Structure 1
Amino acid sequence: MISKRRFVAGAAAATVVPLLSKGGKAAQEEGADFTLRAEQVDLQLSEQGPSTALLRYSGAGALPVIRIRKGAAAAFRIRNDLTEPTSLQWHGLRGIGALDEPTDIPSDSIAPGEDRTARVLPLDPGTAWFHPDPSASNQTARGLRGLLIVEESEPPAVDQDLVALFGDHNLSAGHSLEFGSRGLSNTVATIVTTNGWPSPETVTSALGARLRVRLVNGSTQRVMVVACEGARPVIVAIDGQPSDLFAPVRGVVPIAPGARFDVMLDMPATTDAAVRFVLKGTEAIQGRVEPERPLLVIRTAGPAKAPKPPIAPLDPNPALPREIPLEAAKRVDLVIEGAARSSEDPSVIWTINGIDGRTASKPVLSVRRGDAVTLGFVNKSAMTIPLRFHGLVLRLLHAKDDGWEPYWRDTLLLPPNSSNHAAFLADRPGRWPMTSGFDDLTLAGLRCWIEVKPA
């Protein structure tokens, strides 16, 4: 049995990794090789609580954080030490498609006792993450997650580069856990975590330090509305791509499953001040309403840092177009609906343009490399629908398609009974899936793919 204290003592630097920390996976220039062993571990998550069986990529603490440089080829050897098949799916690497085929049984499925090697050559700097395919969604929810950070050639001048991957962890039934300082006993089977441990994660920072904090929603079922308290955050990147600088409204960021927000902030210049990232609102879990709770707490300590110039934007990605010729764009609307299978079977199937994605044999759109594309999204359901795009990034369009938002996205949130539009330039041939950020919806038919043919 491994207690949280013992586990963290040997791997704390791998859970919230400072820039180029020697405690995590250091940045590699070329030819980097990494081994990820999927295994079950018995962890004691509270001092007096029982142990529970969670899943981990071993050898890197509760959360592997792997850092490489743009253009640095990396090989990932995935060893499956579980008793069931697993897989590896990237989210946030533009151009990666071979591991993301829209099939019931992923082509990269790894049987127990076997291993597979995946090779990656990142096209862009940014924040990405990896996890099993949605068909193994429960493995993700039990802790099988990791971060891949592709660093800029000239990273911005910050004193710390922190990661905070939030998730829902499924625990053994009947597990009892104390929720931080609130002292709320919870006997449900799902908890909210930060970097693989029950929230909050607490770290220290110098007085007046400038921080880059990479916020990632690794949940399979939850849109996380996260507020920053105690500092004024500025968003510098969304879904791995640099954005125009802007402050989130009221300091609150709605993060869809799979989405990533990079923020920069300056810590207070007083000792023992705290900056907190807090999960807002309430969530019903098995009939119990959870309170708002801190996810990440950063406290000041030690000497003060010198005053900094104003936060500057990250360099834009030169590989992405400055403009998209919307007047010449190929256009298709994607109508999303959910309906009960039958009066005898109330479970819901999801369709796109009337087609159940589990049986779809054709792409929803086929274009040539270099084509501009406009996608219309019509959510006819009464729930918020998160969507993920694999290998592509899009611009959200204004209501009249007369402009776009100053950032790129590979995750979208569709409000209930609403319509939205987004555009992209088809720059890489391949079959690029679109799935739901809620894995159960993906498995129930909410998935399709876009085909980009060579020019």
Structure 2
Amino acid sequence: MSSAGAVFACPSFAQTASKPQVLKASVADVQLLPEGYGQTSIWGYEGSTPGPEIRVVKGARVQRTLLNEVPDPTSVHWHGIRIDNAMDGVSGLTQAAVKTGDTFEYDFVAPDAGTFWYHAHNRSYEQVARGLSGPLIVEEPEAIDIDREEVLVLDDWLINPETSQIDSDFEAGGDKSHGGRIGNYITTNGKYNLTLSARKNERYRLRLINASNARILPLQLEGFDGWIVALDGMPLTTPKPVTETIVLAPAQRIDLIVDVTAEVGETAHVQRLDRSDVASQVAFDVKSSAATSKRGTPKPLTPNETPTVDLSSAKPFVLKMEGGAMSGLRSATLGGVKRSMGEIVEAGQFWAFNGAADGMDGPPLAELSQGEHARIMIKNETSFAHAMHLHGMHFNEVNPDGTLGLLRDTTLVERGEEREIAFVADNPGKWLFHCHMLAHAASGMTTRILVS
């Protein structure tokens, strides 16, 4: 199996060393746009976008010293990793933001095999949009039956084509109150036209990560037979054949096992469905043949050890989403005082959870004891979709028939939809629960779950 790190222009970090390795957040000029355009100034880990791949084996220790060289305090959130609360990297909740020139030591064990990622978590609606994110891959101890693996970090950027620079209006009210900051330039691993070589009947593992601020990515396979084997780092009990469009919301990940079915001389694609056409997100040029026949359905990945929710005893909660453009929200509390929507907007807030627009400073959604079971009914009463992410724990989506569904850390709730999730509060600490349309999170769509 070839290393997915080879896809990146930057080197991968090796596994745990005796001295923590430095993970430097810095300003860099990169050729993000096609040749012929000028370079773009980004904020990147180790000066690259995406940042360097961090890859360890399940159960291994991850040690990184964040060195902040960007002109804004920052922190690192290890998205999807079930770790100690002090290592979660949420500025203002689990740690103080790291000032320019300062450092912070992250040290944790990666308990689950899967596809995860890391990204800035102070003013993330700006810092992630500038490039501060990267993949975190936790390998299974046992080998799986593939020929090759590719880590594909999908992202979008809001770029001024005349200057080649990232649009600096990160406080745009239109982004906060509508669908979020949607870019006009889409990349994979920092490239707009990523093309890889392939062989017919070769079997790949594709690890897809949606690192965009707000863009929902509908994807299809062309020239591949594929199976979904994991979502948000958690394996499916049975691989699911890819027979329809895959929807990847911001912050979500999906692991695919695919067999190349395109003929030699043809091109296979991971395709992106735009509003009016289909575009190639990643192209695979089939240059030769690896075998005369396909292998058939892959075996399921080994599941991670997660607690099972007892829905009958789970404590119920409701999270009502309100606000944004076209919602009709007239008032909400801010700072404990009921205010008009105009006053809320003037304060830079556009959304409310359960009638409160305070965001992280508002009342917690739930206070639970360690080991307690909980279920949350999310009611999206807004005009936009929201990708809700729970820190510190994975949850099951609850099926309409009341059974436990997919295990995830980020769920997409469409406008007007209701979605119930359930989890065991087995990780003590203060955990964010927020929309990963990052402009939404910054303007009211953030709450906390406290586990004592």
Q: Distance in 2 between matches of 1:118 and 1:294?
A: 37
Query: Secondary structure of the residue that 1:147 maps to in structure 2?
Result: strand
Q: Distance in 1 between matches of 2:290 and 2:262?
A: 7
Which stretches in structure 2 are left out of the alignment for 5+ residues? 166-181, 324-328, 331-339
- Residue 196 (structure 1) aligns with: 190
Deviates more, 1:47-56 or 1:269-278: 269-278
Partner in structure 1 of residue 15 of structure 2: 28
- How far off its partner does 1:376 sit? 0.7
Q: Once the two structures are superposed, what CA deviation does each residue of 1:408-446 show, in whole Å capped at 9, x if it has no partner?
A: 111111111121111111222222210111111111111
> 1:382 Cα shift?
1.4
1:78 and 2:66 equivalent? yes
Are 2:253 and 1:260 aligned? yes
Given that 1:272 and 1:299 are in contact with CA atoms closer than 8 Å, whether structure 2 keeps it comes out as yes
Equivalent in the alignment of 1:372: 373
Give the match for residue 77 of structure 2.
Answer: 89
Deviation track 1:280-338 (CA, whole Å, cap 9, x = no partner) reads: 122xxxxxxx8542111122224524643531110112x213x4211111111111111
**SS of alignment partner, residue 394 of structure 2:** coil
Q: Deviation at 1:207? A: 2.5
**Equivalent position of 1:439 in the other structure:** 438
Which ranges in structure 1 are unaligned for 5 or more consecutive residues?
1-11, 178-187, 283-289
User: Is residue 364–residue 450 contact of structure 1 (8 Å, CA) maintained in 2?
Assistant: yes
Q: After superposing the two structures, state which structure 1 stretch, 124-133 or 34-43, moved more.
A: 34-43
2: distance between equivalents of 1:13 and 1:246?
23
Cα distance in 1, alignment partners of residues 218 and 143 from structure 2: 28
Amino acid at match of 2:443: A
Is the counterpart of residue 304 in structure 1 residue 293 in structure 2? no
CA distance in 2, matches of 1:168, 1:189: 5
Whether the 8 Å CA contact 1:168–1:191 is kept in 2: the answer is yes
Which amino acid is 1:88 matched to?
V
Instruction: Report the residue type matching 1:83 in the other structure.
Output: P
3-state SS of the aligned residue for 2:86? coil
Residue in 2 that maps onto 1:148: 136
Structure-2-length-normalised TM-score: 0.84
Match of 2:177 in 1: none
> Which secondary structure state, in structure 2, belongs to the residue aligned with residue 137 of structure 1?
helix
Distance of aligned partners of 1:155 and 1:32 in 2 relative to their CA distance in 1, 3 Å threshold: farther
Q: Provide the TM-score with structure 1 as the length reference.
A: 0.83
Q: Secondary structure at the match of 1:258?
A: coil
Letter in 2 for 1:372: H
| Matched-pair contact (CA < 8 Å) for 1:433–1:448 | yes
- Secondary structure of 1:233's counterpart equals strand
Displacement after TM superposition at 1:13 (Å) = 6.7
User: Where does residue 334 of structure 1 map in the other structure?
Assistant: 319
Paired residue secondary structure (1:440): helix
Q: Which residue of 2 aligns with 1:295?
A: 281
Contact 2:364–2:447 (8 Å) recurs in 1: yes
Separation of aligned partners in 1, 2:161 and 2:290: 46
Shift of 1:112: 1.5
Compare 39-48 and 337-346 and name the one that shifted more: 337-346
Relative to structure 1, the CA distance from residue 62 to residue 399 in structure 2 (aligned partners, 3 Å threshold; closer, same or farther) is closer
Change (3 A) 1:343 1:430: closer
**Counterpart residue type for residue 156 of structure 1:** I
Bigger drift between 54-63 and 390-399 goes to: 54-63
Give the direction of change, closer, same or farther, for the CA distance of 1:305–1:142 in structure 2 (3 Å limit): farther
Q: 1:121-167 CA deviation, whole Å, 9 max, x = no partner? A: 11111111011115132221122211010000013121111011111
1:185 is matched with none
Which residue of 2 is the match for residue 98 of structure 1?
86
CA contact (8 A) 1:86 1:132 kept: yes
Partners of 1:399 and 1:51 in 2: CA distance: 49
Superposition RMSD in Å: 2.8
Q: Which moved more, 1:161-170 or 1:336-345?
A: 336-345
How many residues align structurally? 415
Deviation string for 1:315-374 (max 9, x for gaps)? 112x213x4211111111111111475447576522211122436454211222222211
Closer, same or farther in 2 for the Cα pair 1:397/1:13, shift >3 Å? closer
| 274 and 379 in structure 1: CA distance in 2 versus 1, 3 angstrom threshold | same
